[in-house]
Amino acid sequence: MGNNEISRSKNLSIVGASGAVGVEFISVLEKLKFPVNNIKFLASSRSAGKTVSFQGEEHVIEELTKDSFKGTDIALFSAGSGISKQYEKDVLDAGAVIVDNSSAFRMRKDVPLIVPEVNPEDAKNHNGIIANPNCSTIIMLMAVYPLHAKYPVEKIIVSTYQAASGAGWEAMEELRISSEHKLQGKKFEPKIMPFDYAFNTFSHNSNIDESGYNEEERKMVFETKKILHNSDIGVSATCIRVPVFRAHSESIHLVFKDKSPSVEEARKLYTDFPGIDLVDDPQTNHFPMPIESSEKYNCLVGRIRKDISNPAQAMELFVSGDQLLKGAALNAVQIAQLL
């Protein structure tokens, strides 16, 4: 290892190492060959003592305490917003930077909210914390931004087809077990989800405020305005869970300020954009699907067509992206790479 590489190598702490996103942090860091000097895996006392493998070595997960962050350069958090807020001061006092996957800091004025393909320059202005956007927001913006950068969008109407993984391991497991029960004609009492998940869809189970929008939908509305530095962009979202394990899909209607790109130009803009695979074959009806975006780093975009009732100004799209990767761990590690 040369001096340059040593100086660029970072001491990392992974908080929430045993969670669904935590496991993906590890695989993404390995796969992207993130320059790691020292790495520490942290979790609650429940998971402490378990081991995880990183770059061929076994590491024991340590219990997260206020003293965990000494010597840490970057702390990747994915343990819920309560934990992020609880340890914020300890991490900053230790001189480390927080890259946080929770919603704890996203809307704070002094915290950049970053999709590296969209607004990487915002990362420069951090004060010790950078927030990873909501998974549905990231995947939507991966589909909207390549067009928006050249053809400004004034309105986004989005309906989601969200996977179990957004609610963690236990929700994925409940989808599996409840489906087995249903197929065997046995009753299943949901424990993690509020409703039967097998062969069903239901509205995202987050708090609804007086606007009638649930928290997931409000994240898509307000995080989008922040990331795009555009308070005027209108967003309306309907967030629905579907019985899929780990990739979110979204049906997106875009209204452009001036005019819509042609379908050909939209396809070219996607082909030229990093992190996107164009999957758009009307001949075979082959379009983005969660089974094909699962475990992929790139988001799949397709079903690109002018709105049949407003072709001059509006367009339809469909995107599918891995909720645990681009929707969470990959985007967070990409943010860490910007540091």
Interacting residues toward a copy of itself by CB under 8 A: 155, 157, 159, 161, 175-176, 179-180, 183, 194-196, 199-206, 208, 211-214, 218, 221, 234-236, 238, 240, 242-245, 249, 251, 253, 263, 282-285, 287, 289-291, 303-310, 314, 316, 318
- Work out the angle at residue 134's Cα, subtended by the Cα atoms of residues 133 and 137, and round it to the nearest 5 degrees: 90
Least distance in Å: CB of 90 to a copy of itself? Answer: 35
Q: Which is nearer to a copy of itself, 10 or 241 (CB)?
A: 241
Structure tokens at 12: 């990392």
Element counts in the chain: helices (H) and strands (E): 9, 16
Q: How far apart are CA 331 and CA 136, in angstroms?
A: 12
Length of the chain: 339
Least distance in Å: CB of 76 to a copy of itself? Answer: 28
Q: Which positions are annotated as active-site residues?
A: 135, 248
Q: Which is nearer to a copy of itself, 44 or 200 (CB)?
A: 200
Q: Which is nearer to a copy of itself, 125 or 310 (CB)?
A: 310
Least distance in Å: CB of 307 to a copy of itself? Answer: 5
Least distance in Å: CB of 241 to a copy of itself? Answer: 10
Residues 6+ apart with CB under 8 A from 232: 154
Q: Which of 182, 276, 278, 292 is nearest to 244 (CA)?
A: 292
Least distance in Å: CB of 140 to a copy of itself? Answer: 13
- Work out the angle at residue 282's Cα, subtended by the Cα atoms of residues 277 and 284, and round it to the nearest 5 degrees: 95
Q: How far apart are CA 68 and CA 11, in angstroms?
A: 12
Q: Which is nearer to a copy of itself, 268 or 306 (CB)?
A: 306
> Do residues 160 and 214 lie in contact, with contact meaning Cβ atoms separated by under 8 Å?
no
What CA–CA distances, in Å, run from 238 to 48, 205, 242, 252?
38, 12, 13, 11
DSSP string, 12-74: EEEETTTSHHHHHHHHHHHHTT--EEEEEEEE-TTTTT-EEEETTEEEEPEEP-TTTTTT-SE
Least distance in Å: CB of 23 to a copy of itself? Answer: 19
Q: Which is nearer to a copy of itself, 29 or 252 (CB)?
A: 252
Q: Which is nearer to a copy of itself, 291 or 339 (CB)?
A: 291
Structure tokens at 183: 């197929």
